[in-house]
């Protein structure tokens, strides 16, 4: 039996009513948070220090302000000619019920050049991983399967390696240029991983950023409709009575732990808010907000000269988050270039960078492709007399689908 649509429609109506109530509540709390944020303009060094002091003790994410909090930088002039490379990836996950242990990563590769001599090159590059060293990581004593978040980390590395190859092939004519990725440059999925797993993936990912820096190609990533609460986390510090920068004391959530009579802590107004709630009213079309450093542990402790900075930019009805490594953030000309080129890409793509849309199209593995891959795989195993077979569970599901 499929969905009980009658029962589901009642739940949808209830959800809609709850959503309407949340909108009014969020607007009131956002106004409070924005007011406190604006009051702190001019005190950026103070709150940057507070974020540094609270990084270990606060129970929420934080942003370290690099520029004035009220920054609303206008759109820089775009170069008449420019080039960029972009990549995106998709995968066929390891199937524990399949005929053989393997996974596939497909990387979409895009080069675009605009101006007097326009050119486009689009391609995809599949890679099949099946060797023991592809399926597991080990430090000699422990063995960890490369699946789930770790498979995503492997794909992130492959996307970066593809960008280096594209840069070497196409970005050698002296035009203004950039390398663009979709999603975050911070490898959040590795935050809770064992140290040897972190080092395995981060070493390779940071090597990609090293290579782009050596080639003088600024790197950026684009996050559409971001939900990060890092700037909001710094506003929570502004509302926290525990913070005393002069005494070298950051947030320790003492007020929260001492509340026993039902009173809400002073920072509760920020619960559920995200950075775009706070910055939305500050930026008009094409403008970018202030630069911040993400204070996530993996970023601050492991990225070194690639420590990820970010800013928000108004693109139509949404604020996008743009991330850049430190060596880009410290060069105002490169920041302006990223600002201008990323916005131009988003404008050409009706709100989403056209290069990333094309990279996704090249990378995506559709249902028909999956079926064809499975057929090729099973046929090859049969001819090789490999003796592999799917589990009874998978056979049962295939029968039901049929």
| Per-residue model confidence as pLDDT tens digits over 111-122 | 999 999 999 999
Residue 240 belongs to a domain = no
Q: Are 394 and 97 in contact (CB under 8 A)?
A: yes
CA distance 266 to 24: 20
Q: What is the pLDDT of residue 392?
A: 40
pLDDT at 258 over 70: no
Residue 224 confidence (pLDDT) above 90: yes
Q: Which pLDDT does position 24 carry in this prediction? A: 78
d(Cα 242, Cα 255) in Å, to the nearest integer? 7
The secondary structure element, H or E, covering residue 91 is: strand 82-92
Is the pLDDT at 151 greater than 90? The verdict is yes
Tell me whether strands 308-315 and 292-294 are parallel, antiparallel or unpaired.
antiparallel
Give percent above pLDDT 70 in the chain: 92
The values of phi and psi at residue 99, to 5°, are -70, -30
Shared domain check, 384 and 349: no
Q: Please give the Cα distance from 325 to 339 (Å, whole number).
A: 14
| 227 part of a folded domain | no
The verdict on 334 and 396 lying in the same domain is no
Rg of the chain over all Cα atoms, to the nearest angstrom = 24
pLDDT at 39: 96
Using left for φ > 0, alpha for ψ between -120 and 50, and beta otherwise, residue 290 falls in beta
Q: Which two tokens stand for residue 162?
A: 């593809």
User: Are 162 and 212 members of one domain?
Assistant: yes
Residue 389 confidence class, pLDDT cut points 50, 70, 90 = low
Q: Are residues 103 and 170 in the same domain?
A: yes
User: How far from each other are the two terminal CA atoms of the chain, in whole angstroms?
Assistant: 16
Comparing 221 with 21, the larger pLDDT belongs to 221
Indicate whether 110 pLDDT > 90. yes
- Say yes or no to pLDDT of 1 above 90: no
pLDDT for 20 equals 80
Domain assignment present for 236: no
Pair 233, 273: CB distance under 8 Å: no
CB atoms near residue 327 (< 10 Å): 18
121 with 170, same domain: the answer is yes
DSSP state letter for 264: P
- The domain total for the chain is 2
Instruction: Tell whether 386 and 354 lie within a shared domain.
Output: no
The rounded distance, in Å, linking the Cα atoms of 177 and 183 is 19
Domain range for 376: 366-402
Let me know whether 96 and 166 are in one domain: yes
Average pLDDT of span 288-298? 97
Give the pLDDT confidence score for residue 378 in this predicted structure: 83
- Is the pLDDT assigned to residue 159 strictly greater than 50? yes
Same domain, 326 and 370: no
CA dist., res. 278 & res. 34, Å (int): 5
The yes-or-no verdict on residue 228 having pLDDT over 70 is: yes
In angstroms, the CA 133 to CA 101 distance is: 12
Tell me which H or E stretch contains 220.
strand 219-223
- Predicted confidence (pLDDT) at residue 192 exceeds the cutoff of 70: yes
* Residue 264 confidence (pLDDT): 76
Structure confidence at residue 261 (pLDDT): 55
Q: What is the mean pLDDT of the chain?
A: 91
Q: Is 89 helix (H, G, I), strand (E, B) or coil?
A: strand
How do beta strands 292-294 and 136-138 pair?
unpaired
Q: pLDDT tier at 391 (50, 70, 90 boundaries)?
A: very low
* Rounded Cα gap, residues 379 and 376, in angstroms: 5
| pTM to 2 decimal places | 0.90
Helix (H, G, I), strand (E, B) or coil at 10: helix
Q: Which of 6-15, 247-256, 265-274, 298-307 has the highest mean pLDDT?
A: 298-307
Share of the chain above pLDDT 90, in %: 72
347 occurs within a structural domain: yes
Query: Which residue has tokens 């490369």?
Result: 146
Instruction: Give the total residue count for the chain.
Output: 402
For tokens 């990725």, name the residue. 181
Report strand pairing: 177-182 vs 103-114: unpaired
User: Do 371 and 352 fall into the same domain?
Assistant: no
pLDDT in tens, 314-362: 999 999 999 999 999 999 999 999 999 999 999 999 999 999 999 999 9
Return the closest-CA partner of residue 309 out of 48, 33, 38. Answer: 48
Q: Is the pLDDT of residue 235 over 50?
A: yes
Query: Does residue 393 have a pLDDT over 50?
Result: no
Cα–Cα dist 95/374, whole Å: 11
Whether residue 185 lies inside any domain: the answer is yes
Q: Is residue 402 situated within a structural domain?
A: yes
Residues 93 and 112: beta-carbon distance below 8 Å: no
Answer whether 324's CB lies under 8 Å from 308's CB. Answer: yes
Q: Return the pLDDT at 395.
A: 44
- Which CATH number do you get for residue 191? 3.30.420
Residue 173: phi and psi, rounded to 5, are -105, 10
Nearest CA among 33, 89, 399 for reference residue 231: 33
Residue 145, both tokens: 């399967």
Q: Out of 98-107, 222-231, 273-282, 392-401, pick the least confident.
A: 392-401
């Amino acid at each position: 039996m499929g969905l009980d649509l009658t029962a589901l429609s009642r739940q949808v109506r209830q959800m809609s009513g709850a959503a309407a109530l949340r909108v009014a509540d969020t607007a009131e709390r956002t106004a409070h948070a924005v007011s406190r944020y604006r009051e702190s303009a001019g005190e950026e060094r103070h709150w940057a220090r507070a974020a540094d002091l609270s990084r270990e003790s606060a129970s929420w994410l934080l942003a370290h302000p690099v520029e004035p909090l009220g920054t609303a930088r206008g759109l820089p002039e775009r170069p008449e000619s420019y080039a960029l490379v972009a990549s995106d990836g998709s995968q066929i996950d390891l199937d524990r019920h399949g005929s053989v242990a393997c996974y596939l990563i497909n990387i979409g590769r895009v080069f675009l050049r605009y101006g007097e001599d326009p050119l486009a090159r689009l391609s995809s590059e599949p890679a099949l991983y099946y060797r023991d060293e592809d399926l597991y990581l080990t430090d000699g004593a422990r063995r960890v399967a490369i699946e789930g978040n770790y498979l995503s980390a492997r794909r992130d590395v492959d996307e970066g390696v593809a960008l280096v190859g594209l840069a070497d092939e196409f970005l050698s004519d002296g035009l203004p240029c950039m390398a663009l990725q979709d999603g975050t440059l911070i490898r959040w999925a590795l935050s809770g991983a064992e140290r040897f797993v972190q080092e395995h993936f981060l070493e390779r990912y940071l090597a990609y950023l090293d290579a782009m820096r050596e080639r003088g190609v600024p790197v950026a990533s684009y996050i559409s409709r971001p939900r990060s609460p890092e700037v909001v986390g710094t506003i929570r510090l502004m509302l926290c009575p525990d913070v005393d920068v002069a005494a070298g004391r950051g947030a320790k959530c003492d007020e929260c732990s001492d509340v026993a009579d039902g009173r809400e802590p002073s920072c509760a107004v920020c619960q559920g808010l995200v950075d775009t709630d706070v910055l939305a009213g500050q930026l008009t079309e094409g403008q970018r907000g202030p630069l911040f450093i993400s204070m996530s542990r993996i970023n601050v402790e492991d990225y070194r000269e690639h420590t990820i900075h970010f800013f928000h930019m108004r693109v139509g009805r949404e604020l996008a988050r743009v991330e850049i490594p430190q060596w880009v953030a410290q060069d105002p000309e490169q920041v302006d270039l990223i600002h201008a080129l990323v916005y131009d890409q988003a404008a050409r793509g009706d709100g989403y960078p056209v290069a990333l849309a094309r990279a996704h199209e090249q990378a995506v593995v559709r249902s028909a492709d999956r079926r064809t891959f499975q057929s090729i795989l099973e046929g090859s195993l049969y001819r090789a007399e490999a003796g592999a077979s799917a589990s009874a569970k998978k056979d049962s599901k295939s029968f039901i689908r049929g």
